[in-house]
């Protein structure tokens, strides 16, 4: 029976990777559903096996072709109909996704991108703003952006940029950074007079650095510091950066894991032009931003919409509204009062595919003047 290697589902090759078994179940039906359009070069073993094994006596598609059943159809040139499977496919790690990040190659942000997509191509960007723009201008498929870390807390600039840009959060990555002390080859720890790194990385290594008795210098990016020390041949300067930065810029690792316990953990967001379709097959998180009117208990009321539905909050952050920093409230008792006006960012543990999440946001929308969903994405559960 000669079906092997000849039939293809006209919906597309990606089905040959289908982990759900959807492809094979559709192919199994081929011989019973004769109006099912298929031809080409299918190479999925599971599919081929099931067709051959289950219906050995029935005519193959090639038999049907030779009998003229399909002769007038130029099936391979038909457009590919879109299916739910196409819309919900999560990129497998073999796809060469292009990911923008801030910093030079060897930075922790690049390490986070490689953790999420081990075979991705990374695109270094100068500023956080450029990381967003790279995706908006289709220079990159996704962006990886630090949003908070265990030593410095929230990275406020990125909360502001999330609102200013229209990208969607499609994932999160938690990275336990191995903070390494690097120096030029041949330099010993005792020769160092200063150590350069990102301020939050320096803060995480403060115990180690004070024992070393060196001056510390803040720089914008750990890998940038490694490149600076290497290219200027600075013999008195060490850097705290990744092991990968040591390799890229030809520095030696003098000490590994110089961070104080419990380590330096950064949470990064993965951003894309399009949102992903929320599901319930694994734990999902949803990130939103909203404003509230002035008044006693309004934030309490906003938080209650989640508490009432047993929805756990994992993060709350407030940021001033830059465009409209002060709100004037006319009060008959006290006269005109001016308050700072805030944006509230909340992450909660529920998928937008769940009715409790939909009703919580419906409830919030009843009294929040502004509400935007920044993304609904699978939770990183490995840490
Ligand atoms: O400098 C780097 O290596 C970065 O990836 C940047 C950055 C940050 O901007 O917060 C990211 C993660 C680390 O927590 C420290 C620094």
Q: pLDDT tens digits, residue range 130-185? A: 999 999 999 999 999 999 998 889 999 999 999 999 999 999 999 999 999 999 99
pLDDT score for 95 = 59
Residues 6 or more apart whose Cβ sits within 8 Å of residue 343: 163, 289, 290, 291, 318, 319, 320, 321
Q: pLDDT tens, 52-87?
A: 334 445 555 455 445 544 444 445 556 666 665 555
φ, ψ of residue 90 to 5 degrees: the values are -90, 140
Residues involved in catalysis: 266, 268
Closest by CA to 7, choosing from 27, 29, 34, is: 27
Predicted TM-score (pTM) of the model is 0.74
375 lines ligand 1 (CB under 6 A): no
From the CB of 378, is ligand 1 less than 6 Å away?
Answer: no
The atom of ligand 1 lying closest to the CA of 224 is 1
First to last CA, the chain: 51
d(C-alpha 375, C-alpha 369), whole Å = 19
For tokens 């201008």, the residue is 137
CB 226 within 8 A of CB 250: no
**Residue from 3, 53, 45 nearest 24 by CA:** 45
82 to 85, 88, 170: CA distances (angstroms) = 8, 11, 21
CA pseudo-torsion sign 191, 194, 198, 200: positive
Q: How far is the CA of 106 from the centre of ligand 1 (A)?
A: 11
What is the predicted pLDDT for the residue at 137? 97
CA distance 302 to 323: 23
At residue 29, the pLDDT reads 30
Tell me the CA–centroid distance for residue 148 and ligand 1, in Å.
10
**108 C-beta closer than 6 A to ligand 1:** yes
Residue 268 near ligand 1, beta carbon < 6 Å = no
Angle 267-159-245 from CA coordinates, rounded to 5°: 45
CA-CA-CA-CA torsion sign (215, 217, 223, 228): negative
Of 125, 146, 158, 258, which is best to mutate to test ligand 1, by the most ligand atoms within 8 angstroms of its C-beta? 146
User: In a structure prediction context, what are the per-residue pLDDT tens digits for the chain, which is 383 residues long?
Assistant: 333 332 222 222 232 333 333 223 322 232 333 222 222 222 333 233 333 334 445 555 455 445 544 444 445 556 666 665 555 545 554 458 999 999 999 999 999 999 999 999 999 999 999 999 999 999 999 999 999 998 889 999 999 999 999 999 999 999 999 999 999 999 999 999 999 999 999 999 999 999 999 999 999 999 999 999 999 999 999 999 999 999 999 999 999 999 987 678 999 999 999 999 999 999 999 999 999 998 899 999 999 999 999 999 999 999 998 666 666 556 566 666 666 789 999 999 999 999 999 999 999 999 999 999 999 999 998 87
Q: Which ligand 1 atom lies nearest to the CA of residue 109?
A: 5
Q: Is 124 helix (H, G, I), strand (E, B) or coil?
A: strand
Spacing, Cα 197 to ligand 1 middle (Å): 9
Strands (E), 64-120: 98-102
Structure tokens, 48: 């081929």
Q: How far is Cα of residue 212 from the mean position of the Cα atoms in its chain? A: 37
- DSSP secondary structure code for residue 38 in this structure: B
Q: Give me the residues paired with residue 252 across strands.
A: 183
Longest dimension (CA), the chain: 92
Q: Report the alpha-carbon distance of residue 13 to residue 281 in Å, rounded.
A: 24
348 neighbors 311 (Cβ within 8 angstroms) = yes
Any ligand 1 atom below 6 A from CB of 107: yes
| Chain centroid, CA 195 distance in Å | 31
CA angle 177/349/319 to nearest 5° reads 70
């Amino acid at each position: 029976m000669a079906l092997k290697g000849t039939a293809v589902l006209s919906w597309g090759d990606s089905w040959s990777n289908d982990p759900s078994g959807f492809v094979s179940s559709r192919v199994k039906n081929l011989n019973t559903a004769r109006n099912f359009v298929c031809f080409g070069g299918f190479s999925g073993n599971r599919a081929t096996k099931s067709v051959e094994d289950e219906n050995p006596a029935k005519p193959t598609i090639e038999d049907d072709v030779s009998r003229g059943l399909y002769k007038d159809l130029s099936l391979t040139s038909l457009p590919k109909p879109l299916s739910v499977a196409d819309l919900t496919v999560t990129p497998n790690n073999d796809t060469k996704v292009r990911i923008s990040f801030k910093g030079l190659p060897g930075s922790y942000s690049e390490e986070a991108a490689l953790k999420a997509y081990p075979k991705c191509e990374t695109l270094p960007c100068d500023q956080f703003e450029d990381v967003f723009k790279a995706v908006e201008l289709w220079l990159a498929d996704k962006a990886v952006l630090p949003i908070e870390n265990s030593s410095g807390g929230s990275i406020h600039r990125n909360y502001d940029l999330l609102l200013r840009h229209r990208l969607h959060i499609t994932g999160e990555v938690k990275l336990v950074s191995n903070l390494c002390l690097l120096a030029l080859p041949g330099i010993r720890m005792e020769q160092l007079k200063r150590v350069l790194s990102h301020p939050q990385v320096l803060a995480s290594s403060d115990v180690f650095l004070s024992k070393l008795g060196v001056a510390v210098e803040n720089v914008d990016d750990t890998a940038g510091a490694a490149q600076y020390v290497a290219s200027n041949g600075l013999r008195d300067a060490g850097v705290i950066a990744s092991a990968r930065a040591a390799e890229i810029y030809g520095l030696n690792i003098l000490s590994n894991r110089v961070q104080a316990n419990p380590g330096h953990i950064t949470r990064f967001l993965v951003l894309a032009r399009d949102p992903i379709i929320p599901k319930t097959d694994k734990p999902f998180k949803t990130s939103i931003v909203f404003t509230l009117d002035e008044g006693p208990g309004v934030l309490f009321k906003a938080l209650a919409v989640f508490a009432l539905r047993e929805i756990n909050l994992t993060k709350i952050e407030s940021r001033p509204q830059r465009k409209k920093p002060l709100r004037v409230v006319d009060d008959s008792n006290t006269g005109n009062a001016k308050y700072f006006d805030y944006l509230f960012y909340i992450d909660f543990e529920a998928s937008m595919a769940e009715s409790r999440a939909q009703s919580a946001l419906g409830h919030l929308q009843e009294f929040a003047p502004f509400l935007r969903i920044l993304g609904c994405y699978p939770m990183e559960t490995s840490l």
